[in-house]
Every structure is written in C-alpha cells, then in structure tokens.
C-alpha cells in the first residue's frame, strides 16, 4: 500500500502547485471528513504561505470564505473576507457590511438565540448552484486566530452566515446539507435572478417553499 502523505507533505505539494490553488468539488472525500485540529503542525513560515495562498484563491474564485479542505488540506483552518453587498438595500436586508480579512483556526459556533436569517448562499465547492439556508442570525464564535489568540465573540448577520458556512466545512458539512432543496437554482439565467433578489420571497412563491 502506498504511504499516506502527511499533512506537511500535502501542504508542501500544494505550495509547489498552481496559484491560485484548484478548489476541490463536492464528491471529494476531503470535504466530508472532519478536519484535523490545527495544533502547530506547520512551521510559522509555511502556515503564512498557506494562508496567503488560501486568500489569493478565495479572491480569484471569487468568494468570501475558503476552508483548507477545499484546497485538499484536512486542517481546521479557514479564511474569510467580504467586501459587503454593493447595493445598500441588499446590504441592509441581509445585514451584509464589509468583513475585513480574518483567519479562523479550530473554530466552533453556537447559536445565541432562536433567530434565523433565510437567504440564498452558494459554495465554491458546489460550483454552479445556490440554495436558501436558514442560518442562525447570531452565533457565539470560539477557537483561535492564526497567532493562537483565543476567540470568544458574538458574530451576527452575513458575517455569522460566513462563519457558520466555513466552520461547517471543517466538520465535513456542506451548505446543501442544511438547505431548503426546493429553493435550489443554477447560477445563471432565472436562477441567478431569483437568488440576487434582496430576500428569497419571490423564489419562495414561484418555487414553492417557506422562506420563514
């Protein structure tokens, strides 16, 4: 049997490969296994190179979050960055301000209360589709940042959606596992038009689901 590569070997190979990195798609088992807790397995310089590559790959996609398993690295690390919604009505309704670049290491989240926010979202590893997900509107985020500093904060609105989506990736969960599947649309034509509405009210009416 061939030797299974270690995490450091995987990262070395990735850093020697395409830039931006290739994003693995649904069906790759790495997206379905819980990521390994990050516990200093990488040298500081290698971690910095990995994070920079993740950020470039997220920008190039373009996306607003990227988890390490999405580029084939089974470590509990994710990068987030969102310029925010351009349209101010959309920004208000979706509570989507700009989210500055940040790194989550070994993140966990817990709902603060019962409130949900119901909007379309997509995933760079489920290319070409979007669906409605009712996410916790506010979550308590714990874990670390890339320097090892402990995180303990409440995140709300769209940033809370991104935190939940990326943390789920690190647990082997994809957004489609939590989506209202009657809302599923392709990323072009009528589907793109429905998903870009400020709220999913029209999609709920014409596709036949409850937008909450």
The residue ranges that bind Ni ion (CB under 5 A) are 123
Kindly state the smallest distance separating residue 88's Cβ from Ni ion, in Å. 26
- Closer CB to Ni ion, 168 or 194, in the complex: 168
Which of 81, 121, 166, 180 does the annotation list as catalytic?
Answer: 166
Kindly state the smallest distance separating residue 169's Cβ from Ni ion, in Å. 6
Gap between the Cα atoms of 26 and 7, Å rounded = 21
- Closer CB to Ni ion, 5 or 29, in the complex: 29
Cα dihedral: 39, 45, 46, 48 (round 10):
80
Give buried/exposed letters for 106-118 (b at 16+ CB in 10 A, else e). bbebeeeeeeebb
- Tell me whether residue 146 is one of the annotated catalytic residues: no
Closest residue to Ni ion using C-beta atoms? 123
Kindly state the smallest distance separating residue 120's Cβ from Ni ion, in Å. 13
- Closer CB to Ni ion, 122 or 191, in the complex: 122
Return the active site residues. 166
């Amino acid at each position: 049997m061939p030797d299974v590569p270690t995490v450091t070997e995987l990262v070395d190979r990735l850093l020697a490969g395409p830039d931006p990195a290739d994003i693995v798609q649904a069906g790759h088992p790495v997206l379905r296994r819980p990521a390994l807790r990050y516990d200093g397995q990488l040298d500081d310089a290698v971690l910095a190179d990995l994070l920079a590559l993740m950020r470039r790959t997220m920008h190039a996609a373009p996306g607003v979050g990227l988890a390490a398993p999405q580029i084939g690295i089974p470590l509990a690390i994710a990068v987030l960055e969102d310029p925010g919604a351009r349209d101010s009505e959309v920004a208000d309704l979706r509570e989507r301000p700009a989210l500055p670049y940040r790194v989550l290491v070994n993140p966990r989240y817990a709902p603060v209360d019962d409130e949900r926010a119901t909007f379309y979202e997509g995933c760079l590893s489920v290319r070409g589709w979007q669906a409605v997900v009712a996410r916790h509107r506010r979550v308590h985020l714990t874990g670390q940042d890339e320097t090892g500093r402990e995180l303990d904060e409440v995140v709300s609105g769209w940033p809370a959606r991104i935190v939940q989506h990326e943390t789920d990736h690190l647990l082997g969960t994809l957004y489609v596992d939590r989506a209202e599947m009657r809302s599923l649309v392709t990323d072009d034509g009528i589907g793109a038009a429905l998903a870009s509405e400020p709220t999913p009210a029209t999609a709920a009416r014409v596709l036949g689901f409850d937008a909450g």
